């Protein structure tokens, strides 16, 4: 076979493979605390009944960060605009600096310098 024919066959095979399998990829799976498969709607339903929701993650995982955003949006909608988010990436000994920044007592530049970002 010539190189052009092989290239064309490979291209067609690649396109067909993407059409058949590309739409079935799962970005994430959700399980209950007992290890049973669950789904997003059930997770949001249960989370919206809770006072505190801890959303663990692996850093630099874009799917997890996307899920965190989606969960925050869902909870904000279901809580009538009463939602508080915590950010665990700040050290507890920086609480005073965090409070000062949130209260408008220090500038963003000072905040970034003092928080060891």
What confidence score (pLDDT) does residue 79 get? 76
Can you tell me the mean pLDDT for 66-83?
A: 85
How would you label 93-114 residue by residue, b for 16+ Cβ within 10 Å and e otherwise?
eeeebbeebeeeebeeeebeee
Which residues are bridge partners to 38 per DSSP? Answer: 30
Residue that wins the pLDDT comparison between 48 and 4: 48
* pLDDT one-digit tens code per residue, 83-109: 888 766 777 888 899 899 989 999 999
Q: Can you count the helices (H) and strands (E) in the chain?
A: 5, 2
| Phi-psi region at 81: left, alpha or beta (left = phi > 0; alpha = psi -120 to 50) | left
Calculate what percentage of the chain has a pLDDT beyond 70.
Answer: 77
């Amino acid at each position: 076979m010539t190189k052009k024919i092989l290239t064309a066959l490979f291209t067609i095979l690649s396109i067909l493979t993407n059409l058949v399998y590309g739409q079935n990829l799962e970005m994430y799976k959700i399980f209950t605390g007992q290890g049973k498969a669950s789904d997003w709607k059930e997770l949001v339903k249960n989370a919206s009944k809770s006072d505190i929701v801890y959303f663990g993650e692996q850093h630099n995982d874009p799917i997890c960060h996307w899920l965190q955003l989606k969960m925050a949006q869902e909870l904000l909608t279901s809580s009538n605009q009463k939602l508080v988010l915590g950010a665990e990436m700040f050290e507890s000994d920086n609480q005073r600096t965090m409070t000062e920044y949130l209260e408008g007592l220090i500038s963003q530049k000072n905040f970034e310098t003092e928080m060891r970002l």
